[in-house]
Homo-oligomer: A and B are copies of this chain.
Amino acid sequence: MQKKISNRISELGEFGLISRIAAGVAPAEGVITGIGDDAAVTALTAGMQLLTSTDMLLEEVHFRRTWHDPFRLGRKSLAVSISDIAAMGGIPRWALLSLALPADLPLDYLDSFTHGFLAMAAEHGVALIGGDTCASRSGLIISVTIMAEQFPERIIRRSTARPGDDIWVTGTLGDAALGLSLLEKKLPIPPGEGRGEGAFDSLVNRLLDPTPRTAAGITLAESGLISGMIDISDGLLADFGHIAEMSGVGGRLELDALPVSAAFRSLAGSLADFPQHCLLSGGEDYELAFTAPEANREKIAVLMKNSGIPVTPVGIVTSSPDVTVVLSDGSCWQPQPPGFNHFT
């Protein structure tokens, strides 16, 4: 008699589901008790403080199953939380994963999601130590909590930028927003793309599979060269705006200094009505924005070059509380108070 094989979540039950997820989890440093008891038990490195952050991702609000394959969705579910840790200079360690699953979700969807989540975890030194599972009557719901650690004097906050500091960003901006615009416009995938390394794929992948800047965050935090940091999830204007508000400062950003990718350059003009909008206010790039004394400019450039992490100075912190943008013609533009309202 053949063993019956479950193909749906509903046939597996809660404990079968937990076992299935736990099967891919390896023993990890600092994990005293992982999945399976009332609470997980972990040990922090002596002298370090605990950093924690949590994110909730809802189907049809934060992602669409028609756009997002389960492997990359699993990766991104953890990546967005790791990015918050990178923004503080933390060393990511452990994660909790809660899933509310539609009862008719195919098991291979769950398996692929889990593989993606655990692949992202392995790439950033994170161990899955617990979570919760339940049935959802309204789409897939994902909640991730990340725990990290760092020595107190190395943790970088939003509230410590100073007037006269340089404003820097890692990587390139606007790619994820342009990727979203490609998906929204339902453009046909160009010949030779969809599976390859062309501009189209590269932009869409920035949206669907972002890479948190863990190494950059830790390197910058440990260098002692920077004054404030945040991750760019809602666009540079909004996120630098948080640094400005919490530090009691403002800033002047140079539009022409903002770093763009080759893919962005080749497609932005024809695809986005306002490419500058993608650069300044496009969400989900998960790059870091940080501030540092002008005196450290060269040291930062050398350190990051040696670390293989692209960084670009894009403006200056001002004592006036406004955030302004210097346009290509030298004129100044002052945006409305930034901030993305998730409720409208």
A residues near B (Cβ < 8 Å) are 9-10, 12-15, 17, 32-33, 36-44, 49-56, 58, 60-62, 84-85, 87-88, 90, 94, 96, 98, 100-101, 103, 129-139, 141, 143, 145-148, 152, 155, 157-159, 230-231, 246, 339-344
Contacts and interface: CB of A to CB of B under 8 A. Distances in A.
14 contacts: A32-B49, A32-B152, A37-B157, A38-B84, A38-B85, A39-B53, A40-B52, A41-B50, A52-B147, A98-B143, A100-B141, A101-B343, A141-B141, A145-B145
A275 to B, nearest CB: 26
Given A56-B98, A56-B143, A145-B54, A88 B39 contact: yes
Contacts of A159: 37
A52 B88 contact: no
Number of copies of chain A assembled together: 2
A286 B9 CA distance: 27
By CB atoms of chain B within 10 A, which of A39, A41, A134, A339 has the most? A39
Contacts of A54: 96, 98, 130-132, 143, 145
A50 B43 contact: yes
Contacts of A52: 39-40, 42, 94, 96, 129-130, 145, 147
